[in-house]
Amino acid sequence: MATALKNLNDYNKANFADVSDKKVGIVVAEWHNEITDVLCTGAIDTLLKHGIKKENIFRNTVPGSFELTLGAQFLALQPEIDAVICIGVVIKGDTKHDDYINHAVANGLTNVALKFNKPVAFGLVTTNNLEQALDRAGGKHGNKGVEAAAAVIGMLSF
């Protein structure tokens, strides 16, 4: 379903378990950091809202979205980390860089999740322009960071 049909802030918490003892790593890409900061805040606020302790949230940065996969792996291989949220913004430009990055991150994060048997959320905003990215970072479509955090809590409740 397109994001235009579903606000990213709306999620079903009916099946959320008690996650108050869980530890969550967050990896944030520095490209478009004025937007990834907003996404990260959305993710952290959502984790806190559902009982995860501030001291159990570990925020790390990587240069760009392409590096999210290795950042996620660095965190996932730490036994004390229960789940990872990856946050980035890839905006289409003149070349096909966005395609390469987006597919690499989607495949990479899937592999990390399966390899470590831990939830790894895809908090990557992939858009045609800046306006669409802002719409998904606290704008009219909600906040992709909120959605990513809710996905992790949902999977920790599985």
Which positions touch ligand DLZ (CB under 6 A)?
29, 31-32, 63-67, 88-91, 93, 97, 101
CA separation, residue 3 to residues 124, 132, 154 (Å): 13, 10, 19
- With tokens 């890409």, the residue in question is 29
Put the strands of the sheet holding 57-62 in their side by side order: 57-62, 24-29, 83-91, 120-127
Nearer to ligand DLZ, 69 or 143 (CB): 69
Task: Closer to ligand DLZ by CB, 112 or 153: give it.
Answer: 112
Of 50, 97, 103, 141, which is the active-site residue?
97
Minimum distance between the CB of residue 149 and ligand DLZ, rounded to whole angstroms? 19
Task: Compute the least distance from the CB of residue 88 to ligand DLZ, in Å.
Answer: 5
Is residue 97 part of the annotated active site? The answer reads: yes
* Structure tokens given for 48: 């806190």
Closest Cα to residue 125, out of 107, 148, 104?
A: 148
Give the separation between CA 77 and CA 66, rounded to whole angstroms: 19
Report the residue number, 4 or 93, with the smaller CB distance to ligand DLZ.
93
Quote the least distance from Cβ 150 to ligand DLZ, whole Å: 22
Active site residues: 97
